[in-house]
Amino acid sequence: MTNHLNNHLAIAIGNTRIKAVIFGNDRQILEEYAFTHDQLPILEARLANRDFANIAIASVVPDLLTSWHYLPQTQIIKTADVPLRGLYATMGCDRALAAYGAGEIYGYPVLVIDAGTAITLTGIDTDRALVGGAIVAGLRSQFLSLYQNTAALSDVHIPETLPSRWGLDTPSSIQAGIAHIFLAGLQAYIDDWRSQFPDSKVIITGGDGEHLVKWGLQVDIIDKNLIFWGLWRCCEFQSKALSQ
């Protein structure tokens, strides 16, 4: 069995995918993995012969369990474990951890946009307290919803570049409507946040973040690993609390 006891495994189970990273002791990410839920056995097989000093798991799908859930060095991180003020009980732990990771790495106040299956916005102030946020179906969910719930609309994919505002056929009209309405709405939230917190960083994460930035969304930082920074810091926080 290969010994990786100086390394740490962090797993984030989202609505669509399972992501994992391996950290070194210096908080540097050494390896990254991403699989769909039904590909969990592939991830488990990839890491089957490896031991880790610590394992942290955050999940928004409670019924999906991995082989790492049952190990003694595993911490299951929930929203209540995230050391931010004012978080409500039903907030997803992935959202809370991304906001915490953003603030700890880039500073508070901070606005985090997570562009995944859902698009969430989460604002944290200088006192590490939740200001508020918003949730809407994500880009892929919008396109899929039109295709699945209508009889005549075609299956249209997310365009790489911002389409013309006025479509000349059904596919281009769908692309235009979703892209421009999403972009305008998100930018309005960002502008309002910056009017309240002019020194704040605006950070985007999630699989569709790069699409939004390519279309012109004005953010300061793209960081796909916010949830993992949050997991790392949350485990550090818990370890310090336990040692006191």
Span 3-25, pLDDT tens digits: 456 689 999 999 889 999 999 87
Number of H helices, E strands in the chain: 6, 10
Q: What is the mean pLDDT of residues 96-123?
A: 96
- We find that the CATH architecture of domain 2-76 is 2-Layer Sandwich (3.30)
Is-same-fold flag (2-76; 93-227)?
Answer: yes
Asked if 209 and 227 touch (Cβ cutoff 8 Å), the reply is no
Q: Is 94 a catalytic residue?
A: yes
Q: State the catalytic residue, choosing from 94, 114, 208, 223.
A: 94
What is the pTM for the complete model shown? 0.88
Query: pLDDT of 31-80, one tens digit each?
Result: 999 999 999 999 999 998 898 988 999 999 989 999 999 999 999 999 99
The domain over range 93-227 is classified in CATH as 3.30.420.40: yes
Nearest to 133 by CA among 171, 88, 68: 88
| Mean pLDDT along residues 152-181 | 86
CA distance 233 to 11: 14
List phi, psi (to 5°) of 196: -90, -35
Of 57-61, 110-114, 137-141, least confident by mean pLDDT is 137-141
Residue 226 CA neighbour count, 13 Å, CB half: 33
Per domain, the residue ranges of the chain are 2-76, 93-227
Q: How far apart are CA 168 and CA 204, in angstroms?
A: 31
Element (H, E) at 205: strand 201-205
Rounded to whole angstroms, the Cα distance separating 107 from 100 reads 10
Q: Is the pLDDT of residue 129 over 50?
A: yes
